[in-house]
Amino acid sequence: MAAVGGGIALALGQSDDDSSSTPAADPEDTTPPTVTPDPAENIVLDCAGGNVLFSFSEAMADAGEVLLSNGGSVQQGWRGDRVYEISWSSDASICNNSSDITVTLNGFKDISENPLTEPTRFTYSARYNYQSIYQQPEL
């Protein structure tokens, strides 16, 4: 009986080899990324120069562009994989004789190819000589 009991113990100690099974795949990312502009929407932009940073909630694919409603132009590009910057200089190319500018983010997707969720448009006011508003009075 000892031999039978030993055989049972040996049989219980052995298990099926699970090393050949395939691991479960990570679930597909279907969550659309979000974006936050800095400065926030409805701020007055200085036509003489400045920038707007768009921070994304997750890593983004190296794609997309910013379009301006007034046909103005900006320099634009990625700062890493989560921040996109638009900037302009003293040539006032962002204003293009407009007092309101809608900035549209076009073609932005995360690395899983999920398109950017709304809002993708941000409206700003634009003024020449904006810095003079912030000048401190002399004491």
Domain ranges of the chain: 35-128
Q: What is the mean pLDDT of residues 24-40?
A: 88
46-99 per-position pLDDT tens digit: 988 999 999 999 999 999 999 999 988 899 999 999 999 999 987 667 888 888
Supply the pLDDT for residue 89: 87
Relative to beta strand 65-68, strand 100-106 is antiparallel
pTM: 0.72
How many helices and strands in the chain, by DSSP H and E?
Answer: 1, 8
Compute the distance between CA of residue 97 and CA of residue 91 in angstroms, rounded to an integer.
12
Average pLDDT over residues 21-48: 86
Residue 135 reports pLDDT greater than 50: no
Sheet holding 100-106, edge to edge: 44-46, 121-127, 100-106, 65-68
CA gap 31, 57 in Å, rounded: 10
b/e per residue 62-85 (b: at least 16 CB within 10 A): eebebbbeeebebebeeeeebebb
State pLDDT tens for residues 90-132.
Answer: 766 788 888 899 999 999 999 999 999 999 999 999 887 644 4
Q: Give the pLDDT confidence score for residue 15 in this predicted structure.
A: 52
pLDDT for residue 137: 47
User: Is residue 133 scored above 50 in pLDDT?
Assistant: no
What are the tokens at 77?
A: 């590009």
Asked whether 120 and 41 are in contact (CB, 8 A), the reply is no
Whether the per-residue pLDDT at 9 is higher than 90: the answer is: no
SS (HEC) of 97-122: CCCEEEEEEECCEECCCCECCCCCEE
Look at residues 8, 79, 81, 74 and name the one whose alpha carbon lies nearest to residue 47: 74
CATH architecture under which domain 35-128 falls: Sandwich (2.60)
What SS3 class is residue 8?
helix
